[in-house]
Amino acid sequence: MKSATSCSDRRLFYPVLWKKNMARFWPIWSVYGACWLLALPLNLLMLRAEDTYGSMPSPQYFADLEVLSMIKPGSVIAALVFGILSAMAVFSYLYNSRSVGLFHALPVRREGLFLTNYLSGLSFMLLPSLVVFFCTLLAELAKGCLNIGALCMWLAMQVLLTLFFYSFAVFCAMFTGHILALPAFYGILSVLAVVMVQLVNEVLRAFVFGYRYVDTLNTLGTWLSPVILFLEKLRVDRAWDTDGNLERAVFQGLGYGLIYALIGAALAAVALVLYRRRHLEGAGDVVTVRWVRPIFKYGMAFCFALALGLFLYLFFGYNLPQGAWTLLCFMVLCGAVGYFAAEMLLKKSFWVFLDSWKGCVAFSACLVVLIAGMELDVTGFERRVPEAGQVTAVRIRNVSSAPYDRGDGREIHTADPELIRAITELHQSIVDERARHEGTTFGGSYETRTLADGTYLESVQTEGIVSLLLTYELAGGGTLTRDYTLDVTEEDLQDPDSAAARLTAILNQPEVILNAYFPQSYEGRQITNIRLNLMDMETGEYDNYPVPAGFREDLVAAIKADIQAGRLGQRYLLDDEARLTNCYVNDLFIEYAPVDRENSAEYEGDGYSITLQVSAVETLECLREAGVLDETHILETQAEHQQTEWLERRAEELFWEENMRMAPAAAEQ
C-alpha cells in the first residue's frame, strides 16, 4: 500500500500528532521522570547538612560526586531500557495491518510522520531530563551545595545516551513488522558482537594450538556493543586530600558519548530512508526488509551453531571424545536447528523443511570446511616459527616457576641474538611436540619418595603444566604472538631437546635471573633493610632477622656473584626432587627507600624476596660472617620441611591411635 507521500502538505512535523503521542504514552515519560526525580533532587533534599562524609557535608558530597556517579550505570541502563520502550510505543502502528494502513492513508508525508514520531519518542526522555535538571539545580541552591558543572555533565550525557539508544531502537524498528521481535533484535544486537567475539575466541583458543586472543578483535567487539563499552569506559576520577575528603571529581567518557550520539543520528537518518521504502503489507513479519532476510537466516544459524553447539560440547564434557570433530557434530546439529527456526519465523509456518533443506546443507558444508581447515591447520598458523634473523626482540610472559619469589612469573624481554635464537628453538620444540600439548589441562601428578639420606618426601611433583606467552617483534614492524599450555614431566626435564628443558635453560640464564631480581627500575635506589626469615632452634619459631647495615653491600655483591655463577635464582618448572633439595623455605627480603610513585613510570614496589638455595655458597657464607646464620638460627630446605611436617602429623596420628586402642581397656576398669 502506498501512503500519500506526494500530498500538498509539505510539513515535516505535526504538533497534533506529537501531543497525541505525549498524552497516549504518558506512563513512559512519567515513570522515567519519576525515577530521576527520586534519584537526584528528592534524594538530595533528604540529606542533612550535619551529616558528613569525612569532614565534608553530605549534600556537597552528593552534588560533587554522586550526581556524576549516577551516569554509570544509571543513565546508561535508563537510556537502554526506555529507549526501546519509547520506540515500541511511537512506532507500534507499524506492527498491525489495520493501523499501518490507516496511518498511511492520512494526507501526510511519510517523512513528516516519521520525524514527528521520532521526536515524540525522544521527548519522552529529554523533556523529563530537563525538568529533573532544573529541579536538582533548585535543590542544590536550597542546600547551598551548587555544582553546576557536574549537573551540566549529567544532562549532557543524558542527551547523548538517549540520542544513541533511542535512535538505535528506531533503526531496529524499521527492520521488523512484529512488535515482539523489536525488543529481541534490540537486546541481541546490543551485545551480540562482544558475545560472538568471546565465543569465537574460546573455540579458537581450545582448538588452534598457540592461539591468543586478538586485542583488535576484542576491541572491535566492544565498540560494536555500545552498552558494554559505556559500562567499561565511563568513569569518575576522584582525588582525595590527606584527611580523606573529596578534592575533585572529574567525569571521563564524554567523548564516547559524542561519538555514539553522532552514530545515533546516522542511524536515525538510515531509519528514515528505510521507512520511506517500507512495504506496509509487511506488518506482522519478523523481518520486513527483503535483503536482510538471508542475513537473518544464516546469522541465526551461525549463532545457534556457535553458542548452543559450544554449550552442548562443554555440557557433555568428558562423556564424549574431546576434539574439534565432536564440536563440529554439535555445531552442525545446532546450526540446522537455528536455520530451520529462522525459516519458520520468516515464513510463519512449521512446514519449511522440504523447501529449505538445500540452504541448510550449504550452511553445514561451510561449517565443515571451517572446522576442518582449523583442525588440519590449512593456514599453517600452528606450525609457523619465525626465523631468528627476522626477530628484533621477543617477550616471554606468564611462566610460573618455583621458587615462588620475585623471580616467579617475571617477564623476559630481550633483543640479544643468542637468547632470541634459544627462544625460537624452544618454539620449534613446542611445535614439534604439538600433538602432546594440545588440549593440555591436567593440573599435576605427585608421588612419595625416600632420598638416599633417608629423608622422606611426601609430595614430589612428577608431572604438571606451565603456561607460556611468546610475543615476537619482527623486523618488518609486525608482531607474532603465541600462547601455549605445556605438559611437563620429570623425563622431559632430563631431555635437553624437549620444550620443557629448553624453557628451563632460558629461565636459568644468568642475565635473565639478574634482570628479574635487580631490574633497571631499582638502579640507584637505596637499600634500607635486608632481613632473613629463619627458624630459631631454641623456640622452634620462625622470625625475621635483619642483616647488619655494614654487610648489605657485601651481601648484594655475593648474591649477584652466585647468580652469575648459576648458583642462585635457579628456576624449576616442577616441585620435583631437585627443587625440594636445593631450595630453602627461607626468603631473603630486600627493602628499598620509597620513591614518588606517581612520577615513576617503572615503579615496582619498595621491596621483594629472594628464596635462598643450597648452591648459593657465597651468599650463605656472607650471611654467616654477618652473624645472621649460626647454630641456633638455621636454614631449612623444602625437603627437610616436608619431612618435619610429615613426622609431626605421623606422631599425632600415632597418639590418637594409641588413645583409641587404650579407651576400651580403660572403660572396662
Give residue 441's pLDDT. Answer: 64
467 DSSP β-pair partners: 485
Question: Could you give phi then psi for residue 64, rounded to 5 degrees?
Answer: -80, -35
Give residue 440's pLDDT. Answer: 67
Q: Structure pTM?
A: 0.80
Give residue 2's pLDDT. Answer: 46
Mean local confidence (pLDDT), 83-110: 84
Among 312-316, 348-352, 616-620, the range with the most confident prediction by mean pLDDT is 616-620
pLDDT class of 5 with cuts at 50, 70, 90: very low
Q: How far apart, in whole angstroms, are the C-alpha atoms of residue 414 and residue 44?
A: 57
Q: Distance between terminal CA atoms of the chain? A: 106
Mean local confidence (pLDDT), 529-558: 90
527 DSSP β-pair partners: 592
Query: CA-CA distances (angstroms) from residue 239 to 103, 245, 246, 247?
Result: 56, 8, 6, 5
| Long-range contacts, 357-364 (Cβ 8 Å, 24+) | 359/297, 359/298, 360/301, 360/335, 360/336, 363/298, 363/301, 363/302, 363/335, 363/336, 363/339, 364/332, 364/335, 364/336
Q: Are strands 456-474 and 391-397 parallel, antiparallel or unpaired?
A: antiparallel
Mean local confidence (pLDDT), 12-40: 92
pLDDT class of 13 with cuts at 50, 70, 90: confident
Q: Is the pLDDT of residue 325 over 70?
A: yes
Give residue 324's pLDDT. Answer: 84
Q: Is the pLDDT of residue 601 over 70?
A: no
Q: Are strands 56-57 and 235-240 parallel, antiparallel or unpaired?
A: unpaired
Give residue 55's pLDDT. Answer: 61
**Mean pLDDT of all residues belonging to the chain:** 89
- Residue 457: enclosing H or E segment and its boundaries? strand 456-474
Q: How far apart, in whole angstroms, are the C-alpha atoms of residue 342 and residue 344?
A: 5
Mean local confidence (pLDDT), 418-440: 92
Q: Is the pLDDT of residue 348 over 90?
A: no
The contacts of residue 19 (CB under 8 Å, 6+ apart) are none
- Within 10 Å of residue 146's Cβ, how many Cβ atoms? 17
pLDDT class of 162 with cuts at 50, 70, 90: very high
Q: Give tens-digit pLDDT for 163-199.
A: 999 999 999 999 998 999 999 999 999 999 999 999 9
Quickly list DSSP for 151-215: HHHHHHHHHHHHHHHHHHHHHHHTT-S-TTHHHHHHHHHHHHHHHHHHHHHHHHHHHSTT----H
- Within 10 Å of residue 6's Cβ, how many Cβ atoms? 7
pLDDT class of 600 with cuts at 50, 70, 90: very low
